Amino acid sequence: MNYSQQRAKNIVTELLAMANININGKEPWDIKVNNPRFYNRLLRSTSLGLGESYMDGWWDCKDIANLISKLLQANVEEKVKKKWKLLLQLIPHKLLNFQTKKRSLIVGKKHYDIGNDLYQHMLDQNMNYSCGYWKNTTSLDEAQHNKLELICRKLCLKPGMKLLDIGCGWGAMAKHAALNYGVEVVGITISEEQRKLAQEHCAGLPISIRFQDYRDINEKFDRIVSIGMIEHVGYKNYQKLMKIAYQALKKGGIFLLHTIGSNKSSINTDKWISKYIFPNSQLPSIAQIGTAIEKLFVMEDWHNFGSDYDKTLMSWYNNFNKHNHTIKSKYNDHFYRMWNYYLLSCAGSFRARHNQLWQVVLSKKGIPGGYYTPR
């Protein structure tokens, strides 16, 4: 439905005011509208319209992270959505599996394969593309090192063990575990570009990096870790992933799941994120993970440090913008605005505590005598 331009502006102004956001206001989180068509686009397409209109230069904001945080805290999007329209959008997600083996490769090509140099500019020195652990540090490199060390300690790694890294990225976890804990590592990824660079990073170590789907795992391991991978699995496949991990673990094994989490169960995802950043992605909830591990694993520990993702994303944003001229010359201004919006809107989501970051420690039949987790 299209309103008159003035009517649309009045509705949007009223909705934004609920979050203490003003059109062309003085606060850094206020929106400066450059194209009056923005108002109808926002009402018609909600989060997708907000992101796309920013990419097209229809609005600007000095502090997008706080803008998004305020919008989420005020639940503005739910006030815009039409319930019947939302219901129709959910029907395909109920009927179809958007994360089949064939479709799972889409995110590798569209997101992770767009250029290793982009991620080298943005990430820490060891190229961790997941939330850092910021306890007792203000440095991205230290926060990412602390995260890897925390995971290794939670896994109770010992020399001679064999570790499976599902969704190994550019090899940071595999390299840290092999160098510091004397373990053999198999890392799998669905990104060819990640695989190539990870093999370079891990050269000379007892590490095998493979281009492989998690559904093709048929070996036994002492430990399994998955960092930021289940977000690409989809709710129809959560239990399949857990069954495969269970079967791949030796007796007494431990599986650590590191994932972004949603406060509520859902079978779809944010339309802008799905279209432009992570195709076919979905964030699991506590209930969905709980259902997937039922009758398989004992949950030994559930650690939430979601607020640390705000700091991580803002560090990536700062690194990304230090190389803005280089990035713009390779890509274009449209991509540059898209990527900035991605990083800042995600930071705002964690700032609002709309999303969480969980590390879940799972064991086969329970750890004898109990499990005591490091923090």
The three-point CA angle 293-296-297 to 5° equals 70
Order the strands of the 207-211 sheet from edge to edge: 207-211, 184-189, 162-166, 221-227, 249-262, 355-364, 297-304
Closest CA relative to residue 61, chosen from 103, 17, 28: 28
Strands (E), the chain: 32-33, 59-60, 162-166, 184-189, 207-211, 221-227, 249-262, 297-304, 355-364
Q: How many helices (H) and strands (E) does the chain have?
A: 16, 9
- Residue that the structure tokens 């993970």 belong to: 289
Q: How far apart are the first and last CA of the chain?
A: 51
Structural contact between residues 303 and 310, judged by C-beta atoms closer than 8 angstroms: no
Catalytic residue among 61, 131, 202, 346: 346
Provide the greatest CA pair distance for the chain. 69
DSSP 129: -
Q: b/e string for 247-275 if b means 16 or more Cβ within 10 A? A: ebbeeebbbbbbbbbbeeebebbbbbbbe
* In 75-165, alpha helices (H): 76-80, 83-95, 101-107, 116-122, 140-155
Q: Please say if 346 is a catalytic residue.
A: yes
Which amino acids are annotated catalytic?
346
